[in-house]
Amino acid sequence: MKISVIGAGYVGLTTAACLAEIGHTVSCADNDERKLDLLGNGQMPFFEPHLEDIVVRNTKAGRLRFETTEAAVTGAQAIFICVGTPPLENGEADLSAVANVARTIGQRTAGPCLVIEKSTVPVQTGQQLKRQLQLYASKGLHCNLVSNPEFLREGSAIEDFFHPDRVVIGVETEEAARQMEEIYRPILEQNCICPVHAQCTNRKKPAWVVTDMNSSELIKHASNSFLAMKISFINMVADLCEQVGADVTKVALGMGMDPRIGPAFLNPGIGFGGFCFPKDVQAFVRIAEKAGCDFSLLKEVERINKRRIDLFVEKVRRELWVVRGQKIALFGIAFKPNTDDIRFAPAIELLNMLVREGAIVSAYDPQAAEKAKTVCPDVQYCSTPYEAARGADAILIATEWEDSIGWIGRN
């Protein structure tokens, strides 16, 4: 199938490359011409394990190309909208990029096509998208609209695409459901060979969840908000454990053995970050407020998360007595391992707080250091954990990179 993916960010580029890998002809578009030039030359705008190999291989094979949005949507049988929906000041999602893509699709697409909303958007966005397409549509345009939320985790996005737990689609017609099934058939039947781990081909087939568009749109926000709530809950349990002399790792282990709870997202730390959880929690709160629902529970999740850095710095103060003039090494800057993404990363706030308190800060991250230099310039960035730790009065682990954890274990 001839497919266009609009947006070459984490979701869009991964989606485009993996769709090409399973046999589709894919055009990936972005409004950043410099990014398109880099991708056309096989250079990645961000780090994601294994993604570069897939992009380069499929570009050389002619299944994947990079071009403008106008060119990409022309003649496409299916169009995935994967543009960013960053938070506005009031917490709502900024849907201007989605609206702009809808206008371009309406103006440039002549024949029937499938329009797939993959960006994380508030519930009822599909209804607005339909109106936008109709407003700008050229004569004879027939579009089937689909909501297809993504559940790709940065750092393991490739495996998540090829071996998802579930594929969720919100549709208005049976025709759209059949078209989506055709697109994802190799994934649903698990008859494609995962380009990362050959042994993954025996995994069980993902669940195929077909629902209405409003429900599909809610699934993504509800899922991420629930996981954020789980993180804030275990962090509060960790605080309680410190006060009463219990071991939070053992408490989390015992909790996670309950199949109704599960072990995932029960690792206490300095709070959740990244581009998804913080903005999705805020957006879900605003969605609820506009619908007249009191979602105070999620406001408390936010409050708990925002306090994690302050509490952590207070622990550092207690251990060092005086922070000013002390050398502190920080291992990990990205919001999670196996990515270079520093958006809303707790470590960035931690670095800035330590610098403001007068600490001499050295930091190590195998992927995110270059990006961090632009927002935290008053930090010494090191190429190895040993270099960062040399002469340090304290070592703080903010991101669980394997090499950093291994270095601590060896030393």
Query: How many helices and strands, by DSSP H and E, does the chain display?
Result: 16, 12
Is residue 52 within 8 Å of residue 29, measured between CB atoms?
no
d(CA 390, CA 385): 9
> Is 276 tagged catalytic?
yes
Is residue 117 within 8 Å of residue 147, measured between CB atoms?
yes
DSSP string, 313-339: HHHHHHHHS--TT-EEEEE--SSSTT-
* 47: region left, alpha or beta (phi > 0 left; psi from -120 to 50 alpha): beta
Query: Of residues 113, 276, 376, 382, which has the active-site annotation?
Result: 276
Strands 166-171 and 143-147: antiparallel
**Which tokens belong to 218?**
């809610």
Sign of CA dihedral 122, 92, 47, 331: negative
d(CA 149, CA 151): 7
**Which tokens belong to 248?**
């939070």
406's CB contacts (< 8 A; 6+ apart) are: none
Residues known to be catalytic: 276
